[in-house]
Homo-oligomer: A and B are copies of this chain.
Amino acid sequence: MINPNSSLAVTAAIDGGLQPLRVSGGPEIVVESLRTGPRGIATQQDADSVVMPLADWVRAESADAFVLACFSDPGLHTVREAAGGRPVMGIAEWGLLRALTLGERFGIIALSPASVQRQQRYVRQMGLFDRYAGSWPVNASAEDTAGEAIRERLAEAGRSLATRLGADVLVLGCAGMASHRRALQDLIGLPVVEPTQQAVAAALAALLLAES
């Protein structure tokens, strides 16, 4: 798994959230930072800036499957071309797909207002618009998300998605927030999906099933 931003704190938070998926008989899970990535991915330029570096990184890596740990799924289809048939999973993609099985209308807790428009485009591109309640921004950076301080703001965004936009399941719209998932679920009273866990689980499944 590659964190397209260069924040080691975010990478560490992601890594911690994947601990439950490390089973003795299963594949090894390694999380790395993209050294050349920006501190966080807020603008569309941030997202597009990592696409070619991600493709290069994947071409050079010997891993059997890849997960892109940014909720913009930056360059997902380019990285798939670069991976030469090895599975490549996006965290937004799998976060949203998992949400489809936990409720009727998902809402996305977004970091910044700029990411809301990007998410709208992506949900339409995936063809999931009729299941989408909307996105609600908390005005935070990726690095802010690691601490406890942000939890109440995340919960507030989740409640707005539920009561104002009709969401009945929520997706965390950024990597690195696995430590908040359960607490938010309890605070808000709706299922909350952590997307890096879902994408890594999907990659594990693809690896286990590759030969069958």
Contact = CB atoms under 8 A, between A and B. Distances in A.
Given A23-B25, A129-B130, A205-B201, A75 B55 contact: no
A59 B12 CA distance: 35
A26 B24 CA distance: 8
A198 interface: yes
Contacts of A51: 48, 51
Given A89-B101, A117-B168, A125-B121, A78 B212 contact: no
A134 B167 CA distance: 12
Report the contact-size class of chain A (Cβ under 8 Å from the partner): 35 or more
Interface string A180-212: 011000000000001001100110110011011
Interface string A41-53: 0011101110110
A76 B43 CA distance: 13
A212 B81 contact: no
A89 B100 CA distance: 11
A197 B212 contact: yes
A39 interface: no
Contacts of A75: 48
A104 B44 CA distance: 14
A140 interface: no
Contact of A101 (B93, B128, B197, B204): B93
Contact of A20 (B93, B124, B212): B212
Interface of A: 17, 19-21, 23-26, 43-45, 47-49, 51-52, 55, 75, 77-78, 80-82, 89, 93-94, 97-98, 100-101, 103-105, 117-118, 120-122, 124-131, 134, 166, 168, 178, 181-182, 194, 197-198, 201-202, 204-205, 208-209, 211-212
